[in-house]
Amino acid sequence: MAGAPPGRMRLAAQFYPPRTGERGRYGRAELAFLRWVIARGVLNPPDAERPGSPWWRAVNDRLLSDKLEADLLRAGHPGDSSSRSVELWGEFLRAPSPAAWYRAHNASVIGGYLEHQHLAEAELPAERFLMNVALVRVLFSHALVALPRLALGPLSPFGRLAADPRRGTVGLFLDLRRVFPEQYPLSEISAQELVAAEGTLPHLLDYGVIAPKLPELYAFAAASLAEPRIAGLISGTSPCYAWPASLGGIWRNEQRMSIKLTAYVTRTR
C-alpha cells in the first residue's frame, strides 16, 4: 500500500485537502491519531531497524485504500465500489457530516479488524487490549454524534458538539496518548498495568461512561454499519477482539465511588 509512514501520512492528508472547505476539516481527528501511531512505530515497514506491527499496517492499509477508491470513483473513474465501506466513504464525499464521516471511518476500521484478526492474535496481550480500547472509543464517538442519548444519557445535548471530528474536543475521546505509552512493542507491561496507570479522566471515561453501555454500543454499531459480525467482537459485557474470555474481567465496571457516580450521571435510563 503506502509503505513507510511518511507516505501513509501524505495519502491520509490528501483525502482532506484544505481548499475543499468543509471536507478538509474532517481530517483533524484521523490525522492526529495517525501521527500518534506513527510516533509509536507500529507503521514502520518490516525491514526497518525498528519493525512495526503487521496488524496496524494492515488496518491502516484498509482505511487508506477505501478512501482512495471512493475518491477515484467520485472523480469519475469507472467501476463499482468494492465494499460497503467504500460506498460509505462515497456517501460522505457527496454530503459530508459528522455522522457520515464516523460511519465511513468506522466501517473501514472494523473491516480491517475483521479481516486481520489472525494478525492481531500474534500481538502481545497489552497490544491487543489497546486494539480493543481504540475500537471502543471510536464506536462511542460515533454514538455521541448519531445517538447521543445512548452515549451520555441526560448529558446528551453535549454529545454532537463534543465528538464532532472537525473540532479539537474530539481528542477527549479518541486521544490515546493519556492511556498508553508511546512505544512498540508493549513488551514490559501488562494490560492490567496499563489500566492501573491510566489517568483519572480517561479512566472515568472508559469505566464510568463507556463500560456500562458496551453491549448497546456494539449493537448500535452493528445496526448502523449493517455489519452483524460486530456482535462477535463483544462477549457479554466485555470486548473480546483477539482477547481470551478468561481475561474479560478487566472490562468489568469498577466499584469506586467516582466511577459509580459517573455511570449514574450518564445513565441511559
Q: What is the DSSP string of 55-121?
A: HHHHHHHHHHHHHHHHHHHHTT-SS--SSHHHHHHHHHHHS--HHHHHHHHHHHHHHHHHHTHHHHT
Mean pLDDT of 1-7: 80
**What's the half-sphere exposure (Cβ side, CA atoms, 13 Å) at 186?**
21
What are φ and ψ of residue 191, in 5° steps? -60, -40
Alpha-carbon gap, residue 258 to 214, rounded angstroms: 19
Q: How many percent of the chain have pLDDT more than 90? A: 64
Alpha-carbon gap, residue 86 to 147, rounded angstroms: 23
Asked whether the bond before 6 is cis by omega within 30 degrees of 0, the reply is no
Q: Which residues pair with 201 in a beta bridge?
A: none
pLDDT band of residue 203 (cuts 50, 70, 90) is confident
Higher pLDDT, 7 or 268: 7
Alpha-carbon gap, residue 43 to 269, rounded angstroms: 42
Q: Using the predicted structure, report yes or no on whether residue 29 has a pLDDT greater than 80.
A: yes
Residues 53-99: pLDDT tens digits? 999 999 999 999 999 999 999 999 998 999 999 999 999 999 999 99
Q: Which residues pair with 239 in a beta bridge?
A: 234
Q: Please tell me the predicted confidence (pLDDT) of residue 181.
A: 82
pLDDT band of residue 190 (cuts 50, 70, 90) is confident
Mean pLDDT of 19-37: 85
Higher pLDDT, 135 or 246: 135
Residues 124-159: pLDDT tens digits? 999 999 999 999 999 999 999 999 999 999 999 888
pLDDT band of residue 257 (cuts 50, 70, 90) is confident
DSSP conformation class of 254 = P
Q: Taking the domains of the chain in order of start, what are their residue ranges?
A: 5-265
Rounded to 5°, the CA angle 86-238-98 comes to: 35
Ranking 47-56, 63-72, 110-119, 198-207 by mean pLDDT, the lowest is 198-207
What pTM value is reported for the model? 0.93
Among 243, 262, 259, 245, CA closest to 134: 243
Mean pLDDT of 13-33: 85
